[in-house]
Amino acid sequence: MTTEGSTNPQSIHRLAKLMLDRGDFASVLDAEAQLRALRVQFHIDAAQADAYEHQSTLLTAVALAQRVFLGGVFVSGELDVPLVVPVSIGKTLREAMSALGALTWTAVDDTPLVYIGGSARPRSKRFAVRTVCAGWRGGLLPAHSDALPSEIVGMPVASVLAAGLAVNEAFLAVTGDAPAAGKRSIGLSLWSPGLDDWLHDDGAPELVFLPSRLWLIGLGHLGQAYLWCLGILPYPETPQLELMLQDFDRTTPSTWSTSVLTAPPDEAKPSCIGIRKTRLMAEWAEQRGFTTAICERRFDAHVRRQNHEPSVALCGVDNAIARRALDKVGFEFIVSAGLGSGYNDFRTIRIHTLPAQRKAEEIWPDIVADLGGKEASVYEPMIAAGAIDRCGAAMLAGVAVGAPFVGAVAAALAISEVLRLLHGGVVNRLIDLDLTGPEHKVVLPQRNSLLHLNLGYVSRG
């Protein structure tokens, strides 16, 4: 969080930036104070508490919500069970919740409530939803809804999807941005993203194969969401995933607000501010049991993949120069996720896969965004009050709005393209959606088969 009077673009919480840009508040302090007033409650019953997919959902939801609901993330239910998902420390689910920063008791009655899995609950006047994870399908329902998909074990990345959608829905509710929030069914099939009825059986196979070698480009918002999804997957205990981690950037005070694996800068332990993201993420991945190599240079057309390096790339960078080079460096298969960055489009997600009918330079034209002038209308009160000068306003205008739950959903979709290819499914050349209404989506399959590609895989643990 920012210190009093601070308008440092590298310190502002990215959802405080949302509130500033759309005119909700006239100062950074007021916007961040609003975030500190937001709370959310999660509850898990005994029937779900020891299940891999439901633990995955809860762990992900808490990790995301900690960066959004700064007034407190509360968790109740059956927590004294062995932790079976190895993305957090602790021997029990309760210990994992505490390690993630959650408060393990019940909040006041008007706090938005998210049930983790299970069947219908009694109708309530408060915001109350329940997550759903069945096979490759993930989403949420009003808590009282009788709808229930077929009872099959959930694929862990679908848990990430369900958690991201649930935190998004709760945030929509508390900010008043969607009157229907909490009253609707929202979800997707990661096996068939274009499916209209996500609760209907999508014919997905059991998850058997996992990628063995991946190159991650960018280790911020999206890159850390990719790593979280990979950590959720049930890899065997011995190292079975080789990662190339590429980024040249260092963490800043605002990194944690969108990046799920970066600790808040005010925790009572050595700060990670100023540390290269490659080093932090390699440490996390090695603790998870993965093998890593790092590359601390910008990704561009001068990069050349060597034969011994991963041939599958997950791209999470937000600049056209890097994206335009994706199909020029020797990768066999590429998934690139892009997110909106403004107050009115930060919930938008666009997934591309390569090779495709169009080259990367055609998909991402060399267009420079024009950010000038935004401060004149939005930041004028701050300039008039002396809180910021026009140079500072211009710098602040260039900071992206972002939310970790958007990156989580995007990462689930992106990694599912790799998983689907490993299982003989259809690869999509484009997925385009907005989390305000994800049912209104565009999904375009690849026209050419990519099943001949040898991506490298291991069997799940």
7: left (phi over 0), alpha (psi -120 to 50) or beta: alpha
CA distance 127 to 89: 30
Tokens of residue 128, six digits: 């109350």
8 Å CB contact between 59 and 90:
no
Residue 298 near residue 317, CB atoms below 8 Å: no
**Is 391 a residue of the active site?**
yes
* 265 CA to centre of own chain: 20
- Active-site hit among 133, 229, 295, 391: 391
* CB-based contacts of 30-37 (< 8 A; 24+ apart in sequence): 32/1, 32/2, 32/70, 35/68, 35/69, 35/70, 35/71, 36/70, 36/71, 37/71
How many other CB atoms are there within 10 angstroms of residue 274's CB atom?
9
CA distance 39 to 112: 7
Measuring CA to CA, which residue among 67, 24, 388 is closest to residue 221? 67
**In terms of C-beta density within 10 A (0-12 exposed, 13-18 middle, 19 or more buried), how is residue 395 classed?**
middle
Q: Roughly how many angstroms between the first and final C-alpha of the chain, as a whole number?
A: 40
Measured in degrees and rounded to the nearest 5, phi and psi for residue 302 equal -85, -10
DSSP 372-429: TTHHHHHSHHHHHTTSS-HHHHHHHHTSPP--HHHHHHHHHHHHHHHHHHHTT-PPEE
DSSP-derived secondary structure letter, 205: P
Rounded-to-integer distance, Cα 200 and Cα 189, Å: 9
Distance, CA of 324 to CA of 459 (rounded, Å): 33
Return the amino acid letter for 402: G
Residue 242 backbone dihedrals phi, psi, to 5 degrees:
-100, 125
Cross-strand bridge partners of residue 459: 209
386 conformational bin, left if phi > 0, alpha if psi -120 to 50, beta if neither: left
Residue 86: is the preceding peptide bond cis (ω within 30°)? no
Nearest by Cα to 202 from 441, 433, 425 = 425
Catalytic center residues: 391
